[in-house]
A and B are shown apart, each in its own frame.
Chain A
Amino acid sequence: MDEKKLAIIATKGTLDWAYPPFILASTAAALGYETQIFFTFYGLQLLKKDVSDLKVSPLGNPGMPMKMPFGPKWFRDINWNIPNAVQAIVPGYESLATTLMKMTIKNNGVATIPELRSLCQEADVKFIACQMTVELFGFEHSDFISGIEFGGAATFFEFAGETDICLFI
């Protein structure tokens, strides 16, 4: 059986959206897929050496439950529906939501982004950073983790054209 192939385009640079590309890529690698992720636009944030500043925003995100990761069960079950107008005006609201999300992630035994990212690299998932976006956003190659390649759309298609699965995230 020929090795299956998976290509992912990662375009989001928030803590929540950092998960799907790394979860799918690491799992695919474990299943024997040859896997590449092309990081473009805000997705580049996921390749920075320091990803501790990735944030999640509940603002304008009605699908995101706002539940407390601590306290008695009845308290943790409350979904705090805070109006967008209030979220927008409270300084540090995004940082607070991010801290709570990180607690929830830890409580649930979900891996951290640096952990999943290094599991991908250990499993030979190839990371390609979009060189155009690197320049557009004023990044330096030294801002990123080692072991990645820099390329453009043509580089992506060279691999993507031969894949069994191709996802845009």
Chain B
Amino acid sequence: MDFNKDLDARGLNCPLPILRTKKTLNEMASGEVLRVIATDPGSVKDFAAFAKQTGNELLSSTEGGGEFTFFIKKK
């Protein structure tokens, strides 16, 4: 999937992946896509909840090799 910006949140724990994501999204334009890679297992539910509450669209959420990848489209 194409994305405009990449955020490496590996090794970070709650709530840092969400806070960094929010900060990065603030610097992006509406409609742009952010890719986030995290290792915190709690981030799967957290990113879904973040998207639901902020209106930014979670395009995909996948897991592989202990890493979680999220694609988020800025509102």
Chain A residues within 8 Å of B, Cβ to Cβ:
23, 26-27, 30-32, 108-111, 119, 123
B29 contacts A by Cβ under 8 Å: no
- Bound CA–CA A79/B12 (angstroms): 25
User: Which of B15, B18, B22 counts the most A-chain CB atoms under 10 A from its CB?
Assistant: B15
- Bound CA–CA A166/B13 (angstroms): 25
Chain A contacts for B21, CB-based, 8 A: 30
B11 contacts A by Cβ under 8 Å: yes
Chain B contacts for A23, CB-based, 8 A: 14-15
A109 in contact with B15 (CB, 8 Å): no
Q: Give the number of residue pairs across the A-B interface with Cβ within 8 Å.
A: 35
Judged by DSSP, the binding face of A is loop
Chain A contacts for B18, CB-based, 8 A: 27, 30
Q: Which residue of B lies closest to A122 (CB)?
A: B23
For window 40-59 of chain B, which residues contact chain A by CB distance below 8 Å?
Answer: 40, 50, 53-54
- Bound CA–CA A27/B46 (angstroms): 10
For window 1-53 of chain B, which residues contact chain A by CB distance below 8 Å?
Answer: 11-16, 18-19, 21-22, 39-40, 50, 53
A30 in contact with B19 (CB, 8 Å): yes
A31 in contact with B54 (CB, 8 Å): yes
A26 CB to nearest chain B CB (Å): 6
- Bound CA–CA A37/B54 (angstroms): 22
8 contacts between A and B (CB under 8 A): A27-B18, A30-B21, A30-B50, A31-B54, A108-B13, A110-B14, A111-B13, A123-B19
Q: A30-B19, A119-B19 are known contacts; what are 6 more A-B pairs with Cβ within 8 Å? A: A30-B22, A31-B53, A109-B12, A110-B13, A111-B12, A111-B16
B15 in contact with A30 (CB, 8 Å): yes
A153 CB to nearest chain B CB (Å): 29
A141 CB to nearest chain B CB (Å): 28
B34 CB to nearest chain A CB (Å): 14
- Bound CA–CA A85/B50 (angstroms): 46
Chain A contacts for B15, CB-based, 8 A: 23, 26-27, 30, 111
- Bound CA–CA A30/B16 (angstroms): 10
Closest 8 A/B residue pairs (Cβ): A30-B22, A109-B13, A27-B15, A109-B11, A110-B13, A31-B53, A109-B12, A23-B15
